[in-house]
């Protein structure tokens, strides 16, 4: 909804001559007009999405203008309503303003003055509808999670909204960092299972020995270290949704048990013979073609068909360039709010670099870049771009990247405050002992940095 699109006036007056003359004047001014002589019919025309305003006479048989306003405001709060009044009705009109009328005009009114008041009211109504749309969008998990103007993202959002209404297992395909879990959560939050658990497990982050226990749970004493009984993720997700990330990493022995659990909707904890009933939808995610993997004997083809009743494909960021700046600005704003920072607008050259970057780490990499920008690490930006452009992020472990990032933050803070430790502690919100430990571990020496600054 834009301001220009809100251009409709519902005009109510029991005087046919006034109604027709006013309609003609407004239409000559390119304002769309609906006319009614019976105020009792107004409620049938106006709803919460009505893209216009109401202009009504006060003195009318059956229902006067102030009563009509109260009736409409009960249905559509804050809808701009302009009242037209005779000289003797001015006290009534003033009272109506106090009760929420937008404005009032005294008969005989100047048509140009009416047009001016109407146009201002239409702008207000347009802003109301836009805010209403934005609030609805923020409440919609698909729109709020899956941002992007590109055709590919519009298609993906449509597919998510459609598939969320069916009770089917779904397989999500996408590169590392593309947003597979965001898609999975959107599917869950739009489904009839939204109030039930969403349980996620990264199969690639667990050892082969742990995957089975994590999925199926175990009975106390089932194996060494099983000091108490424990529910598995399948059991915890019952009634809701189970998300299996990097499902291609699941061992074949566990795949067999998972296949049976899907078929039977029942499981047994490790070390137990008790059957536990399940009611769940499984959303899986993979960055590898599972059918090709099954041809190599590393993934069960029958499990693939059970998991991929429906499939979704997330396009990599490099294939939807029109979304890059939108996502970057969104992540910068998020980081600025979290850290309570004022952020400068990126320069044209910086935006060009954003668009040229191949983003091998996809949205995850872009979010990291936006966070660095929001934190004001300006001296690093060009270097960071060179690193992410010419090297695959996977060449560095997460621990190494986190350590480099932490070293940069502390170093920049020390330089910014000319070695004043107390100011560094205040800025980074760290205890002195923690800062000392980090500086020692990261090889940062206050004296060396001060000397570097002097040089």
pLDDT bucket at 450, cuts 50 / 70 / 90: low
Instruction: Kindly state whether residues 47 and 81 are assigned to the same domain.
Output: yes
Instruction: Kindly state whether residues 255 and 162 are assigned to the same domain.
Output: yes
The CATH number for 332's domain is 1.10.8.60
According to DSSP H, which parts of 76-140 are helical? 90-98, 111-139
If residue 34 lies in a helix (H) or strand (E), which one and from where to where? strand 32-36
Q: Is the pTM of this model over 0.85?
A: no
Instruction: Kindly state whether residues 156 and 260 are assigned to the same domain.
Output: yes
Instruction: Kindly state whether residues 52 and 25 are assigned to the same domain.
Output: yes
> Quick check: 445 pLDDT over 90?
no
Instruction: Kindly state whether residues 170 and 299 are assigned to the same domain.
Output: yes
Domain count, the chain: 4
Expressed as residue numbers, the domain containing 209 is 142-313
Flag the least confident range among 49-58, 239-248, 256-265, 333-342: 333-342
Which of 293, 313, 333 is where one domain is finished? 313
Which of 245, 279, 313 is where one domain is finished? 313
Mean pLDDT estimate for the chain:
84
Instruction: Kindly state whether residues 153 and 298 are assigned to the same domain.
Output: yes
C-beta separation of 102 from 124 below 8 A: yes
Instruction: Kindly state whether residues 80 and 222 are assigned to the same domain.
Output: no
Instruction: Kindly state whether residues 255 and 108 are assigned to the same domain.
Output: no
If residue 297 lies in a helix (H) or strand (E), which one and from where to where? none
Instruction: Kindly state whether residues 131 and 115 are assigned to the same domain.
Output: yes
Neighbour count for residue 131 (Cβ, 10 Å) = 11
pLDDT bucket at 454, cuts 50 / 70 / 90: low
Instruction: Kindly state whether residues 402 and 455 are assigned to the same domain.
Output: yes
Which of 373, 391, 409 is where one domain is finished? 391
The CATH number for 183's domain is 3.40.50.300
> Quick check: 399 pLDDT over 60?
yes
pLDDT bucket at 1, cuts 50 / 70 / 90: very low
β-strands 266-268, 275-277: how paired? antiparallel
Q: Estimate to the nearest angstrom the gap between the alpha carbon of 105 and the chain centroid.
A: 44
C-beta separation of 267 from 276 below 8 A: yes
Measured between alpha carbons, how far is 292 from 407 in angstroms, rounded to an integer? Answer: 42
Instruction: Kindly state whether residues 129 and 166 are assigned to the same domain.
Output: no
pLDDT digits (tens, 9 = 90+) for 113-170: 999 999 999 988 888 887 777 666 556 677 778 888 889 999 999 999 999 999 999 9
């Amino acid at each position: 909804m834009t301001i220009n699109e809100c251009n409709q006036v519902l005009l109510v007056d029991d005087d046919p001559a006034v109604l027709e003359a006013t309609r003609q004047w407004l239409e000559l001014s390119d304002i769309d007009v609906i006319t009614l002589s019976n105020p009792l019919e107004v409620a049938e025309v106006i709803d919460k999405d009505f893209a216009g305003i109401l202009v009504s006479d006060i003195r009318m048989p059956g229902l006067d203008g102030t009563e009509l306003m109260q009736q409409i405001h009960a249905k559509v709060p804050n809808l701009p309503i302009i009242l037209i009044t005779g000289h003797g009705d001015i006290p009534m009109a003033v009272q109506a303003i106090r009760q929420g009328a937008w404005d009032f005009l005294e008969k005989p009114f100047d048509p140009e003055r009416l047009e001016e008041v109407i146009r201002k009211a239409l702008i207000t109504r347009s802003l109301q509808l836009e805010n209403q749309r934005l609030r609805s969008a923020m409440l919609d998990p698909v729109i709020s999670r899956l941002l992007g103007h590109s055709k590919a993202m519009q298609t993906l959002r449509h597919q998510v909204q459609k598939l969320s209404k069916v009770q089917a297992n779904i397989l999500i395909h996408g590169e590392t960092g593309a947003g597979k879990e965001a898609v999975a959560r959107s599917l869950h939050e739009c489904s009839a299972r939204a109030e039930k658990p969403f349980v996620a497990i990264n199969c690639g982050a667990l050892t082969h020995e742990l995957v089975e226990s994590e999925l199926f749970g175990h009975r106390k004493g089932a194996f060494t270290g099983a000091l108490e009984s424990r529910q598995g993720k399948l059991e915890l997700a019952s009634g809701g949704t189970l998300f299996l990330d990097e499902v291609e990493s699941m061992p074949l022995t566990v795949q067999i048990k998972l296949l049976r659990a899907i078929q039977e909707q029942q499981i047994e904890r490790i070390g137990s013979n008790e059957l536990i009933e399940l009611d769940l939808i499984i959303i899986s995610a993979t960055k590898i073609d599972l059918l090709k993997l099954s041809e190599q004997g590393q993934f069960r083809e029958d499990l693939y068909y059970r998991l991929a009743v429906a499939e979704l494909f997330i396009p990599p960021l490099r294939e939807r360039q029109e979304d890059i700046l939108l996502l970057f600005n969104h992540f910068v704003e998020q980081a600025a709010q979290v850290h309570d920072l004022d952020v400068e607008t990126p320069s044209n050259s910086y935006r060009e670099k954003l668009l040229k970057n191949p983003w091998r780490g996809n949205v995850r990499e872009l979010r990291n870049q936006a966070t660095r920008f929001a934190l004001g690490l300006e001296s690093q930006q060009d270097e960071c771009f060179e690193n992410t452009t010419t090297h695959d992020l996977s060449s560095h472990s997460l621990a190494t990247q986190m350590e480099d990032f932490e070293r940069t933050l502390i170093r920049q803070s020390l330089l910014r405050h000319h070695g004043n430790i107390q100011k560094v502690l205040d800025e980074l919100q760290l205890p002195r002992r923690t800062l000392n430990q980090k500086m020692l571990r990261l090889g940062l020496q206050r004296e060396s940095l001060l000397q570097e600054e002097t040089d």
